[in-house]
Amino acid sequence: MNLREILVLLISFFLAVTIILTFRKIINYRQNQNRKPKQNSISNNDEVIVELEDFKEEDFLDDDVLLEPKLSSDNLIYLHIESEQSNSIRYKDILNYFDNNDINFADEGGWLKIYLDNSNNFSLVNGLKPGKFLPEEETSSTSIVTMILIADEQNNCVEAFQHMAEISYKLAAYFSANVLDSDRNKLTKQMYDHYMHQAEETDLKKIKLS
């Protein structure tokens, strides 16, 4: 065998090895592609939309959860009227009481807006969920109602709080209930004075800004 034949054999051998390695790389690449998990690629400019299920409020709240105002506590003064008997405070009885005592109010669809003198007002709501009295949903009575005074909406916050407290005590007596503070403790003179101070501070701020 001469030199030329040896060179031809070596070149043929290297070509065969190269072809075999190339085929092996192609096969391995395809197998790896098939093993990769499918992923959704989302660019930074794509909008991601998440559909929420239709959850109901009762899935999250217990029956004895109070309606807590969502405004700043510095801007709210509120009292609770709580009866020891379940569902003893009926919405229609509240309406009758206000009618019989010439208290000016408006039914706002399950809760009341109580109008006082000098452009003062406060709200009365069901103290338990859903926060309203809804006869069609069998929530026409409760064991607790909540009076909410939005301090900076009053023409005279001190006077408005005094009226709200007076009405609260009279309404509590009418339903044989107790007047409670915001922490659901019986309203003491100390807490009453605290609310009065809060009302006074609100009126002073208004005077300074005027």
Give the CATH number, domain containing residue 84.
3.30.1400.10
Same domain, 65 and 10: no
Same domain, 118 and 168: yes
Residue 39 domain-assigned (yes or no): no
Provide the domain count of the chain: 2
Q: What confidence category does residue 203 fall into, taking pLDDT thresholds of 50, 70 and 90?
A: very high
pLDDT higher at 135 or 45: 135
Tokens matching residue 125: 């709501």
Same domain, 194 and 133: yes
Same domain, 66 and 14: no
Same domain, 74 and 118: yes
What percentage of residues in the chain have a pLDDT greater than 70? 65
Same domain, 168 and 120: yes
Task: Say yes or no to pLDDT of 81 above 50.
Answer: yes
| Per-residue pLDDT, 137 | 78
Same domain, 91 and 156: yes
Same domain, 82 and 181: yes
Smallest CA-to-CA distance from 144 within 184, 92, 109 is with: 184
* Range in 37-41, 68-72, 132-136 with the lowest mean pLDDT: 37-41
pTM of the model: 0.65
| Per-residue pLDDT, 14 | 60
Same domain, 62 and 152: yes
Residue 6 domain-assigned (yes or no): yes
Q: What confidence category does residue 176 fall into, taking pLDDT thresholds of 50, 70 and 90?
A: very high
pLDDT higher at 127 or 30: 127
Same domain, 118 and 178: yes
Same domain, 152 and 64: yes
| Per-residue pLDDT, 6 | 61
| Per-residue pLDDT, 129 | 87
Residue 135 domain-assigned (yes or no): yes
Boundaries of domain holding 135: 57-209
Residue 45 domain-assigned (yes or no): no
Q: Which residue has the tokens 């029956």?
A: 63
Rounded to the nearest integer, the mean pLDDT of the chain is 78
Residue 40 domain-assigned (yes or no): no
What percentage of residues in the chain have a pLDDT greater than 90? 54
| Per-residue pLDDT, 12 | 65
Sign of dihedral through CA atoms 57, 82, 125, 142?
A: positive
Residue 166 domain-assigned (yes or no): yes
| Per-residue pLDDT, 113 | 96
Burial letters 83-110, b for 16+ CB under 10 A, else e: beeeebbebeebeeebeeeebebeeeeb
